[in-house]
Structure 1
Amino acid sequence: MAPSRPEESEEWLADKIDSWVETYKKSMLTPVILSIIGRHQPAGITTIAEAVARSTGWHVTERGLYRTIKRLQDSGLIASAAVDAPRTGAKRKDLSLTPLGQRYLEGITSNLVDPAL
């Protein structure tokens, strides 16, 4: 017996949801990353990437993540410090919110609509 095919309306709905998520993922990535850094600061890139995937289910490319972090640094919302990585001694970036970044995150989160309403 062949597996049942989802109804056309289910396919349409799934497509609309996927489209919405892809459209808003880029803009929502900023508060997600800022929230993660705020909770784990200082936070390394690996911590941020894993937490984004775990908390959102989104796949964010390494390039996309680095571009967003660079934009946040250039905007003065996050600061980075070069630290020695354990065992290897190689330099890695630890990221923290700046006071401006903390205020920006508070402003964004205070204006989010609770979907449970």
Structure 2
Amino acid sequence: MRWLTVFAEFVLVPVLVVAAVWCWHNGIRTTAFKPQGEVPAFTATRYIGPWLAGCAVLATGVVGVAAVAPAAAAPVDAVPDHRTHPVELSWQDLLPPQLNCLLSTGWAAFCLEIPLP
């Protein structure tokens, strides 16, 4: 699996970057018009959507490879589990402190009919 990550980081990303730059340059066309009579000279810039969209897709691919490659390179057992016993969680541990405070009082047990632990 590590060879795939090296390939993605050192071969695929530069190819995607070069292709994105190529798409960007093809997506912007500049045309210069000469003056004609009383009309002054001007430069028009035309943005070609499909080329710019292709550049955006390739840039997203670069970001995706950069995000996924480190996770794919790390073996599953890289982070050891140092817990000696499994952690027991209850549904009350998942509540925000404000609501947990209400549940620890008799108000919640009375109004919501939730038994207290």
TM range (shorter): under 0.3
Query: Normalising by structure 1, what TM-score?
Result: 0.26
Query: Normalising by structure 2, what TM-score?
Result: 0.26
- Larger radius of gyration between Structure 1 and Structure 2: 2
